[in-house]
C-alpha cells in the first residue's frame, strides 16, 4: 500500500467535507468595485488572519481567484446578471463559462470552489422583470455544465435572492410565502435546487429596513434583545434576522421544501454616508452577528446555523450610489484593509488589519489658503472633483458632513487628487488648490465620526512587488501541511491495524 493511495484517500476525505465544521469560521463577501482595489494576495492574508474560511465573489475576477488558490478558503463564485441571458441561451455557453471560470481555477490553481451563485438578486422589483425569463434556464445550464465538467458532486449551484421574493400577509414570520407574481417560477427553481443538492441564498438587510421605514423599531435591527418581542405562536422574535429568515423558512415549508438548505448571502451594516450608518451601529450589529456565528446559533424555526456571508469585507469607492451614499461604506475594514472598529472574533482574539499595504506619498491636495470661498469657480471645481472621486463622506449626517466650506472643498480636491494617484495635474483647480505634506484631517473631536483625509494605495508599487508565478506552486501553506499531518495520522492508524 503506497503513500500515493493514502494521499488520494485523504484528498477524497477532504473533498467530501470530512472534518468540515470542526473550526467553523466566518464567511464574507469580497467585492472589487474600487478605484484602487486592495491587492488580492493581501486580501487573502487578511481573510486568513481574521478566521474567514469562506468567501463569496461577485464575478470570476482572475486576480482574486488566483490568490485564493491553495488558500484553504472555500469559494462561492458569483455570476453577474448581465451574463444570465447568454448563459440561458445554450448549454455550450455555460460549458465554456464553467471551463474558463471554474474548472481552470480548481485544477490549475487549487481554488476550492463550492458554489456557483447564478445571478445576483435577479428578481429585485426595481429590475422590472428584466431577468425573469433567463435566471432559471441559466441555472439549469450551469448545473448541466458542472456535471459535464465532472464537478457535479464538488460544486453546487445556488441563486442569491433579495429578501423581497417572500412576504407575509399576517405580518408574522409564520405567514411567509413567495411573492405571488413569481410564485410558480420560484417553486420550480426550489425543486431544481433541491433535486441537485443546491441551496437557496437570501440577502437580509436590517439596515435597509430601518432606512425604508422611519417608524421601524430600531432596536429590532440589532441582536441585543432590547426590542419588544414580536410574538408568533410559541415563538418570540427580537431581531429582524431571525424574523426575516424564518419568513423564508415558512415559505419553503408551506411549499414542500422544508429541508432545502438556506444560506444568508449578504448581511451587514455600513459605517458612513447616512445618519444611521456609523461606526457605533455597525460595530453593534456586526459584533452581535459574530457572536451568533461563534455560538453556532440558528433561527427559532431552523436550529442548524446557516452559513452567513458578512457584507462586506472592505469598502468599495466605485460602487453605484443609486441606493444611497452608504453603498460605498459596507466594509468591516476600510478600503485599505485598515481597521474601522474592533470586534471580538472569539477565543480572545480581535480583528487584525491588512499587512503590507503600500501607500502613495504623504501628500494631500487642499484648498489654497489664498483662495476665497466666494470664488465663482469653487462650486464647479468641487462638483468636478466629486464626479470622478468618492465624496460620499461629505453628505448630511456623514463623517465629513460637519466641515466648514473651506475644508469641504479641500476634502473634495484631495479625494480627486488621491484617486488620480497624486498626479501633478490632479491638484490644479483653477488656482484654488495647492498640495501640502501636513495632514489636513480635522482633529478627532471625541466623537465616533472622524473625518479622515485619505491617502490612496500605491498600485504601481504593488504591481512591481507582484510575486513571480512560480511561487504559486511553491506556496506550501497551512492547508497542505494540515493534509500532511492527517496523512501521517492515517498512516500510523493503518500500520497499527496491519500489525
In angstroms, give the least distance from the CB of 83 to ligand NAG.
7
Taking each helix axis as running N to C, give the angle between helix 91-98 and helix 135-148, from 0 to 180 degrees, rounded to the nearest 10: 60
**Closest CB to ligand NAG among 283 and 292?**
283
Integer angstrom CA distances of residue 35 from 32, 60, 339, 389: 9, 18, 19, 9
**Closest CB to ligand NAG among 100 and 480?**
100
Residue of 121, 253, 316, 327 with catalytic role: 121
**397-422 burial by CB neighbour count: b if 16+ within 10 A, else e?**
ebbbbbbeebbbbbbbbbbbbbbbeb
Q: CB nearest ligand NAG: which residue?
A: 425
Among residues 470, 471, 468, 479, which one has the least CA distance to residue 70? 479
In angstroms, give the least distance from the CB of 393 to ligand NAG.
11
**Which of residues 258, 444, 447, 481 is near ligand NAG by CB under 6 A?**
447
Backbone angles phi, psi at 363, to 5 degrees: -145, 140
Question: Is 121 annotated in the active site?
Answer: yes
Listing DSSP states for 25-68 in one string gives: -EEEEE----SSPPPHHHHHHHHHHTTEEEEEESS--HHHHHHH
The region of 176-184, 297-305, 345-353, 378-386 touching ligand NAG under the rule CB under 6 A is: 378-386
Residue of 95, 253, 266, 316 with catalytic role: 266
Between CA 223 and CA 308 the distance in angstroms is 15
Distance between start and end Cα atoms, the chain: 14
Please answer whether residues 321 and 328 qualify as being in contact, where contact means their C-beta atoms are separated by less than 8 angstroms.
yes
Between CA 144 and CA 428 the distance in angstroms is 56
Number of residues that bind ligand NAG (CB under 6 A): 23
Question: Which 57-116 residues touch ligand NAG, going by CB under 6 A?
Answer: 59-60, 96-97, 100-101
In angstroms, give the least distance from the CB of 246 to ligand NAG.
30
Question: Is 266 annotated in the active site?
Answer: yes
**Which of residues 133, 377, 463, 482 is near ligand NAG by CB under 6 A?**
133
In angstroms, give the least distance from the CB of 133 to ligand NAG.
4
**Closest CB to ligand NAG among 296 and 405?**
405
Contact status: 129 vs ligand NAG (CB under 6 A): yes
Backbone angles phi, psi at 365, to 5 degrees: -110, 130
Neighbour-count burial of 4, counting CB atoms closer than 10 A to its CB (0-12 exposed, 13-18 middle, 19+ buried): exposed
**Which of residues 91, 130, 182, 459 is near ligand NAG by CB under 6 A?**
130
**Closest CB to ligand NAG among 97 and 178?**
97
Question: Which 260-279 residues touch ligand NAG, going by CB under 6 A?
Answer: none
- Residue numbers at the binding site for ligand NAG (CB under 6 A): 59-60, 96-97, 100-101, 129-130, 132-133, 280, 283, 382-383, 386, 394, 405, 408, 424-425, 428, 447-448
Active site residues: 121, 266
Amino acid at each position: 500500500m503506497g503513500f500515493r493511495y493514502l494521499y488520494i484517500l485523504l484528498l477524497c476525505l477532504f473533498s467530501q467535507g470530512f472534518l468540515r465544521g470542526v473550526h467553523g469560521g466566518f464567511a464574507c463577501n469580497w467585492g472589487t468595485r474600487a478605484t484602487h482595489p486592495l491587492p488580492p494576495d493581501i486580501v487573502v492574508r487578511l481573510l486568513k488572519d481574521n478566521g474567514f474560511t469562506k468567501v463569496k465573489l461577485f464575478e470570476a475576477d482572475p486576480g482574486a481567484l488566483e490568490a485564493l488558490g491553495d488558500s484553504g478558503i472555500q469559494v462561492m463564485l458569483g455570476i453577474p446578471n448581465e451574463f444570465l441571458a447568454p448563459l440561458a441561451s445554450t448549454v455550450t455557453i455555460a460549458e465554456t463559462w464553467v471551463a474558463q471560470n471554474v474548472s481552470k481555477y480548481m485544477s490549475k490553481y487549487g481554488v476550492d470552489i463550492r458554489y456557483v451563485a447564478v445571478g445576483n438578486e435577479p428578481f429585485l422589483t426595481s429590475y422590472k422583470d428584466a431577468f425573469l425569463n433567463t435566471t432559471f434556464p441559466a441555472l439549469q445550464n450551469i448545473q448541466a455544465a458542472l456535471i459535464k465538467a465532472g464537478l457535479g458532486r464538488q460544486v453546487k449551484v445556488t441563486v442569491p435572492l433579495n429578501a423581497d421574493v417572500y412576504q407575509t400577509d399576517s405580518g408574522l414570520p409564520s405567514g411567509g410565502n413567495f411573492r405571488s407574481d413569481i410564485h410558480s417560477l420560484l417553486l420550480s427553481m426550489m425543486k431544481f435546487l433541491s433535486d441537485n443538492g443546491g441551496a437557496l441564498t437570501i440577502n437580509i438587510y436590517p439596515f435597509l429596513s430601518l432606512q425604508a421605514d422611519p417608524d421601524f423599531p430600531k432596536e429590532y435591527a440589532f441582536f441585543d434583545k432590547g426590542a419588544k418581542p414580536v410574538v408568533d405562536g410559541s415563538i418570540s422574535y427580537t431581531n429582524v434576522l431571525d424574523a426575516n429568515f424564518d419568513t423564508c423558512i415558512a415559505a419553503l415549508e408551506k411549499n414542500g421544501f422544508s429541508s432545502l438548505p438556506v444560506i444568508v448571502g449578504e448581511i451587514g451594516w455600513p459605517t458612513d454616508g447616512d445618519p444611521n450608518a456609523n461606526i457605533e451601529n455597525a460595530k453593534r450589529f456586526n459584533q452581535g452577528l459574530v457572536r451568533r456565528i461563534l455560538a453556532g446559533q440558528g433561527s427559532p424555526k431552523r436550529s442548524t446555523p446557516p452559513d452567513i456571508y458578512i457584507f462586506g469585507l472592505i469598502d468599495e469607492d466605485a460602487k453605484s450610489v443609486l441606493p444611497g451614499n452608504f453603498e460605498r461604506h459596507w466594509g468591516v475594514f476600510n478600503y485599505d484593509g485598515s481597521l474601522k472598529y474592533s470586534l471580538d472574533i472569539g477565543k480572545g482574539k480581535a480583528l487584525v488589519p491588512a499587512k503590507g499595504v503600500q501607500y502613495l506619498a504623504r501628500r494631500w491636495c487642499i484648498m489654497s489658503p489664498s483662495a476665497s470661498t466666494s470664488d465663482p469657480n469653487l462650486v464647479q471645481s468641487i462638483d468636478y472633483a466629486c464626479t470622478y472621486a468618492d465624496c460620499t463622506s461629505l453628505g448630511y449626517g456623514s463623517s465629513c458632513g460637519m466641515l466648514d466650506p473651506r475644508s469641504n472643498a479641500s476634502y473634495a480636491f484631495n479625494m480627486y487628487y488621491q484617486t488620480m494617484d497624486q498626479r501633478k495635474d490632479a491638484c490644479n483647480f483653477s488656482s484654488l488648490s495647492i498640495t501640502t505634506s501636513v495632514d489636513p484631517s480635522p482633529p478627532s473631536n471625541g466623537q465616533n465620526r472622524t473625518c479622515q483625509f485619505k491617502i490612496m494605495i500605491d498600485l504601481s508599487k504593488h504591481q512591481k512587488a507582484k510575486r513571480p508565478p512560480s511561487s504559486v506552486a511553491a506556496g506550501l501553506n497551512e492547508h497542505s501541511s494540515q493534509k500532511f499531518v492527517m496523512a501521517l495520522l492515517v498512516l500510523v492508524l493503518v500500520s497499527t491495524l496491519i500489525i
